[in-house]
Every structure is written in structure tokens, then in C-alpha cells.
Structure 1
Amino acid sequence: MTATRVIEPATEPVSQAEMKAHLRLTGTAEDELVGQLIAAARAQVEQETRRALISQGWRLYLDQWPAGRVVQLPVAPVQGISQILVFDEDGVPNALAETDWRLDKSTSPARVRVKPGAGLPSSAVMAIEIDFTAGYGASPSDVPETLRQSIRLLAAHWFEHREAGTELAMASVPHGLDRLLAASRVRLL
């Protein structure tokens, strides 16, 4: 099972203006760096929690259906599935009808149950593709405040401790970040 982001988020959960206010910056000299730190902090928070913050497109590749034909989607929260493709022996994709599968968003991670006999893949590697949208929504205000605060804390830590070799710069995360992220982390089953 391999998952890849195929559509990047259209915006960041924390705006540059919010981050500059958090850092108490008034000039524009550090704007490019602040933007890069926000993006890097968002990516780190998403990786640590196994969550997509702003709506983004994902593709899950499978070699075959798992036991029971129940597929756990590796990123949360799932907004919906756009298509499920199954490749035949000749490599021709066939889309499963929406009546052949059911998305269960009540669990975390979300899962898809495929009807028995629907979409029999070939023996090829990556014979199944599931395209889905994950994230809390398209707007930064859709993202829970604890995750937005995690981004601000991490970006500020990296902004303040840019030099290598100091004890604080070598600290992996700012104090309290692990507690903020722990509550939102999607457990692996």
C-alpha cells in the first residue's frame, strides 16, 4: 500500500500575517522565510498526526484487496472518494460504480468497504487506485485551533533557532508541541 498526495492544498492553515503577528514582526524582510517555515511546519504537523489540514487530493495504490475487502485510508479526515480504479490484466483501468463500495467516515482512519466480486484486479503491482480528498476544509478556519497553534509554535521555534549547534536549535520540537499533536494523531491499526 502506497499513498501519494496528488493535489496540494490551495492555502496554508496559518496565514503569513498571523505568523508575523505571532513572531511580532512588522517589516517585510523575512516574509519569504516566514512563508517557507509555515509550509514546512504544516508538512511536519501533517506527517506527525497523519492528518491533512487543508483539503488536498490523495491517491492510494494497492496490489490487491485486503482481507474482507475493507481498505483503511491512511490520511484523515476523509471528505470523500472521487474514484476507485481497478486495472485488468492488460493494464486497462475500470472505474468501480459508486454502488460497488461504501465509505465509512465514522472511524478514524476512515475505511472503504468494496462489495464481494466487484473490481477483481489483475496480478499486477498497484492494480488498484483509490482517489480521495482529505482535510478539514478549504479554509484555514476549518482547521482545529490546536493544529494551527502547533504550526505557529513549530514555525516560531525554527525562526528563532536558525543557527546550528546551539542547545535550543538542536531541540527537536518546542516545549508542549508533542502534547498538542498527541491528541490529534491518527492511530495506526
Structure 2
Amino acid sequence: MVINGRDALKFKITVPPAQEPVTLDDVKTALGIELTDTIYDDQISPWIPAAREWCEGYQNRAYITQTIELAKDYWPYRDEIRLPRPPLQSVTAMAYMDSTGTATTASASTYFVDNFSEPGFLVAYSAWPAGALRPANGVIVEYVAGYGDDPVDVPSLIRQAITVLCMHWFNNGFCEPPDAVKSMLDLNRIIPI
């Protein structure tokens, strides 16, 4: 996802979540559909990941554990790299490419991982390496984000918002999410800078 041009916010999910925060049975139960009734399964099933993706995008968060790559065109001025889509679990690697395209993996001893803040940060202990970077995507940070591997790790209000959004789409067609969903998600929404 790229927002506002070149170095504003460029990231991609390289390893998606292994499962969804809500199940087909969760949505069917909320809709009052018998779990043994499979007539609507093919209709509802694709809405679950779509609803999760919409909610993650709205909140600017990761729900179930996933791996993300962030690209920066140049080193930040304040010696910290903000990592979108909290909560941050861990940083897997940070690499930078010089102007000739030669990659160097930064030693974890050169930066501190702040996974207490939301969003998390990488903070240089002294300064980031000197020298020119390649013209685009000179710094790549790979990290793991999300509340955990299991649906119960995701806050219940988020799971409820995903379920309500699926119910809304079932009853109204694939349309704009209702204010109720946005209200549930607004409580812990991260506003991009």
C-alpha cells in the first residue's frame, strides 16, 4: 500500500494470516442460519477475508499474525523508522541497498525494536549507516505484526465488527460499511501521519 507519493508509506503483506479472526460458523450463527444449512456458505465465505481486510485497512492494524515488508527510499531524519500495522510482534530483518544495488543486512545490534509503542519503531542506537541508497526502496524492513496466531487473540470488539460487516453485506449487498462497524473500530484506530 502506498499513500501520498514516494516515501510516505510503502508496505506489502508477504505472508498473510493463516486464518481469519471469525469463522463461517460465527457469521452463520449471528445471521440465525443453522450450521448444517450450507446453502449460503459460498456466498458468505469470501466476505470474511474481505471484511477483515476492510477492517484492518480502516484501523491501520494487523489482526492475525502476518509478515509485512516496509520500504523506505531514504533514511529517516529522526533516526527512527515507524512500522505500520500494529501491534508489532518482532522485526525479522532490516536491509539497505547502496546506490549500486548492493544489499547489506543491518545487524540487530545497531537498532532497538520498540514494540511497546503503537505503531512500533526501529530506533538507531547512534545513527543509520552513511552513504547513498539506491533511488527507490533503499531500506527494507521485514517484520511480524498482529495480535497473535489464534482468533481469540484478536480483541472481541474487532471480531464483532467483522461479523457485523458480514451480516450487513448479507442483508444489504456488498456496499459501504455501516456506522456501527466504524464506531466499533474507531476505539483503537491508528491514524496515519
TM-score (norm 2): 0.89
1:14 aligns with 2:16: no
Q: Which moved more, 1:100-109 or 1:118-127?
A: 118-127
CA distance in 2, matches of 1:73, 1:8: 17
TM-score computed with the length of structure 1 as normaliser:
0.90
For the residues of structure 2 that align with 1:3 and 1:184, how far apart are their CA atoms?
A: 21
Query: Match of 1:12, SS?
Result: coil
Matches within 5 A, 1:80-119: 80-119=90-129
Percent sequence identity is: 26
Structure 1 position 137, deviation (Å) = 0.4
Provide runs of 4+ in structure 1 moved above 4 Å: none
CA RMSD of aligned residues (A): 1.5
Aligned runs of 1:44-63 on 2, under 5 Å?
A: 44-63=54-73
- Contact 1:86-1:129 at 8 Å conserved across structures: yes
CA distance in 1, matches of 2:110, 2:121: 14
Which residue identity does 2:170 align to in structure 1? F
User: Which residue of 2 is the match for residue 74 of structure 1?
Assistant: 84
- Compute the displacement of 1:93 (Å): 1.3
- My pick for the range that moved more, 67-76 or 130-139, is 67-76
Quick check: 1:180 aligned with 2:191?
A: no
Secondary structure at 2:78 match in 1: helix
Summarize the Cα distance change of 1:89–1:63 in structure 2 as closer, same or farther, 3 Å threshold.
same
Which segments of 5 or more consecutive residues in structure 1 lack a partner in the other structure?
A: 163-168
Whether 1:147 aligns to 2:155 is no
Secondary structure, counterpart of 1:68 in structure 2: coil
Number of residue pairs aligned between Structure 1 and Structure 2: 182
In the TM superposition, what whole-angstrom CA distance separates every residue of 1:129-183 from its partner, at most 9, and x where no partner exists? 0001110001000000000000001010001112xxxxxx76x322422210110
1:92-112 per-position Cα deviation (integer Å, ceiling 9, x unaligned): 211111101111122111111
Gaps of 5+ in 2: 1-6
